[in-house]
Amino acid sequence: MASASSSSPYRIGILTSGGDCPGLNAVIRGAVCAAVQRGWEVLGFSDGYEGLLSPVRYRPLTVENTDGITQLGGTILGTTNKGRFVAKVGLGQKAQIPAEIIGEAKETLEGLGIQALVCLGGDGSLTTSEQLFEAGIPTIGVPKTIDNDISATAMTFGFDSAVECVTEALDRLHTTARSHKRVMILEVMGRHAGWIALYGGLSGGADMILIPEIPFSYDKIAKEIRERVGDGYDTTMIVVAEGAMPKDGSVSVRGEAKGEVRLGGIGQQLAVEIERRTGRETRSMVLGHLQRGGAPTTVDRILGTRFGVGAVKLIEEKKFGYMVSYQNDEIGAVPISEAVGQIKKVPPAGQMVDAARAIGIVFGD
Ligand code: F6P
């Protein structure tokens, strides 16, 4: 375990929690540089909140040892998305972190002289930081998720990189689909919100986009495919979010881990139903964790860096219990409690869906 002197004028901690996401390292770099400029010290905790518990794991982060990380995917600190700090299960079901766990985390931070803890995480991990704040730990939240489903911020870093990955996959699938005159289905991430499917599908030239916010009908989809064939289009590209579901059905579940359902399988289910109804040869593929991996896009590097700097400014202003947010090209702040209250979903009658429909994209409703 690294040691750090408690005579430092200001010492902050930073950790990354939940599923990883391109841009996390850009936030770390932004926060470290902004903090060091103010003469502060930064300790990076390993494996999310778990690093706060025995055996405590952290290391000092400096301008030198974070040099060159902005362009790296993943997180140099490691992360945990199931652990002892679970504060939310599924969609909106709050869970109380055990008092002894919070107590131990508090002792660790006090022992190290940490005056503020920057927590990078999605909806669940931000709910954890809110509970820690309520227990007297000065936390600052930084919203992270490829799903882009956190309220009170127009965008999260990681989303653009995931969309880029979907776009590239569709570009590749188009050529093989055309050659074989097939229906091609791409299942993408998005448990509760269809942002990745919507943006990726639009940019990658999908003919149909199926999202959790707009339940679909197998019959409508089959009818559309038959009509397309009649119009001379013998391939159909479909992007489906893992959380999409038929009107009279439910989400496809792959399994369960610690009370959290793991979604998956809707793409294959769709392929079976389409072949049965239309007789068209259909293939489906799951893009999976490729969407979370790899280097962040320019947009995510910049947004991540700005969030990191923004988090340090919030500490300076002593706005604990707040989360950095992005609105109208400005980095602002909102109470974490406001952001984790509800998931940001795609508005079915919003401009993006409207634009997609305007160019002939079908939502299967
Ligand atoms: O929160 C992002 C997300 O990518 C979801 O869309 C997906 O369901 C989930 O993470 C998968 O997480 P993991 O397989 O790492 O537990």
pLDDT at 257: 73
Assign 3-state DSSP to the chain and report helix, strand, coil percentages, each to 5: 40, 20, 40
Mean pLDDT, rounded, for 272-295: 98
pLDDT at 364: 98
User: Which residue out of 191, 199, 251, 253 has the highest number of ligand 1 atoms within 8 Å of its CB and is therefore the one to mutate?
Assistant: 191
Q: Cα(301)–Cα(224) distance, rounded to whole angstroms?
A: 40
Residue with tokens 């766990």: 101
Find, among 1, 104, 82, 98, the residue nearest to 45 by Cα.
Answer: 1
Asked whether residue 172 falls in the same domain as residue 97, the answer is: no
Q: What is the CATH number of the domain that holds 41?
A: 3.40.50.450
Distance 226 CA to ligand 1 centre (A): 34
Distance 138 CA to ligand 1 centre (A): 28
**Stated pTM of the model:** 0.95
Range of the domain at 324: 11-157+296-339
User: How far separated are the first and last CA of the chain, in Å rounded?
Assistant: 56
pLDDT at 255: 87
pLDDT at 4: 42
Sheet strands (E) in 39-113 = 41-45, 58-61, 88-89, 93-94
Q: What are the residues whose beta carbons fall under 8 Å from the beta carbon of 93, sequence distance 6 or more?
A: none
Per residue in 83-116, pLDDT tens?
Answer: 999 998 866 688 999 999 999 999 999 999 999 9
Q: What is the CATH number of the domain that holds 238?
A: 3.40.50.460
Annotated catalytic residue within 147, 149, 160, 207: 147
In a domain, 348, yes or no: no
Number of domains in the chain: 2
The last residue of one of the domains, among 263, 292, 321, is 292
In a domain, 150, yes or no: yes
Instruction: Find out whether the beta carbon of 189 lies less than 6 Å from any atom of ligand 1.
Output: yes
Count of other CB atoms within 10 angstroms of residue 192: 20
Residue with tokens 């930064």: 42
Q: Are 237 and 270 in contact (CB under 8 A)?
A: no
- Is 147 annotated in the active site? yes
Instruction: Find out whether the beta carbon of 19 lies less than 6 Å from any atom of ligand 1.
Output: yes
pLDDT at 258: 66
Q: What are the residues whose beta carbons fall under 8 Å from the beta carbon of 5, sequence distance 6 or more?
A: none
Q: Are 55 and 43 in contact (CB under 8 A)?
A: no
Asked whether residue 313 falls in the same domain as residue 215, the answer is: no
